[in-house]
Amino acid sequence: MIATIARREYANLFLSPLAWTLLGVVQIILSWIFMAQIDNFLLLRPQLMQLENQPGVTDIVIAPVFSLAAIILLMVMPLITMRSLAEEKRSGSIQLLLSAPLTLTQLVLGKFGGLLLFVITLASLLMLMPLSLLLGTGLDLGKLASIWLAMILLLGAFSAIGLYLSSLTANSTIAAVGSFGVLLMLWILEWGSDNPVIRYLSMLNHHRSMLEGVFDSADAVYFLLVIFLFLGLTVRQLDSERLPR
Partner 1 sequence: MTETETDHPLLQVRGLSRRYGDTLAVRSVDFMLRRGEVLGFLGPNGAGKSTTMQMLCGVLAPSAGEVLIDGIDLLEQPREAKRRIGYLPENPPLYRELTVDEYLRYSAALHGLERAAIAPAVARARALCGLDGVQRKLIGTLSKGFQQRVGIAQAILHQPPLVVLDEPTVGLDPIQIREIRDLIKSLGERHGVILSTHILPEVQAVCDRVQIIRRGELIYHAATGELDGSSGNGHLHVALRHPPTADALRRIPGTRSVRALPQAGHFEVDFAGDEVDPATYAESLARLAVESGWGLLELTPRRSSLEDLFVALTTSDEAA
**What is the nearest approach in angstroms of partner 1 to the Cβ of residue 241?**
9
Please provide the DSSP assignment of 102-122 as one string. --HHHHHHHHHHHHHHHHHHH
Q: Convert residues 50-89 into a mask of x (bound to partner 1 by CB under 8 A) and - (unbound).
A: ----------------------------------------
Phi, psi at 210, each rounded to 5° = -70, -30
Q: Which residue in the set 17, 46, 92, 192 belongs to the binding site for partner 1 (CB under 8 A)?
A: 92
If binding means CB under 8 A, how many residues of this protein chain bind partner 1? 24
Nearer to partner 1, 12 or 205 (CB): 12
Residue 102 — left, alpha, or beta (φ > 0 → left; ψ -120 to 50 → alpha)? Answer: beta
Please provide the DSSP assignment of 155-181 as one string. HHHHHHHHHHHHHH-S-HHHHHHHHHH
Nearer to partner 1, 15 or 49 (CB): 15
Q: Which residue in the set 21, 54, 93, 193 belongs to the binding site for partner 1 (CB under 8 A)?
A: 93
Helix axes 172-188 and 63-81, enclosed angle (nearest 10): 150
Provide the terminal-to-terminal Cα distance of the chain, rounded to the nearest Å.
30
Q: Convert residues 100-119 into a mask of x (bound to partner 1 by CB under 8 A) and - (unbound).
A: xxxx----------------
Nearer to partner 1, 95 or 193 (CB): 95
Q: Rule CB under 8 A: is residue 36 a binding residue for partner 1?
A: no
Task: Give the binding range for partner 1 (CB under 8 A) out of 91-99, 128-136, 196-204, 208-216.
Answer: 91-99
Using alpha carbons, select from 101, 124, 105 the residue that is nearest to residue 23: 124
Task: Give the binding range for partner 1 (CB under 8 A) out of 38-46, 62-70, 98-106, 193-201.
Answer: 98-106
Compute the distance between CA of residue 185 and CA of residue 231 in angstroms, rounded to an integer.
19
Compute the distance between CA of residue 84 and CA of residue 162 in angstroms, rounded to an integer.
9
Q: Would you mind telling me the total number of residues written for the chain in this entry?
A: 245
Task: Give the binding range for partner 1 (CB under 8 A) out of 1-9, 35-43, 151-159, 166-174.
Answer: 1-9
Check if the beta carbon of residue 202 is closer than 8 Å to that of residue 133. Answer: no
Task: Give the binding range for partner 1 (CB under 8 A) out of 93-101, 128-136, 157-165, 221-229.
Answer: 93-101
Nearer to partner 1, 7 or 208 (CB): 7
Please report, as ranges, the residues that interact with partner 1 according to CB under 8 A.
Answer: 1, 4-5, 8, 12, 15-16, 91-103, 242-245
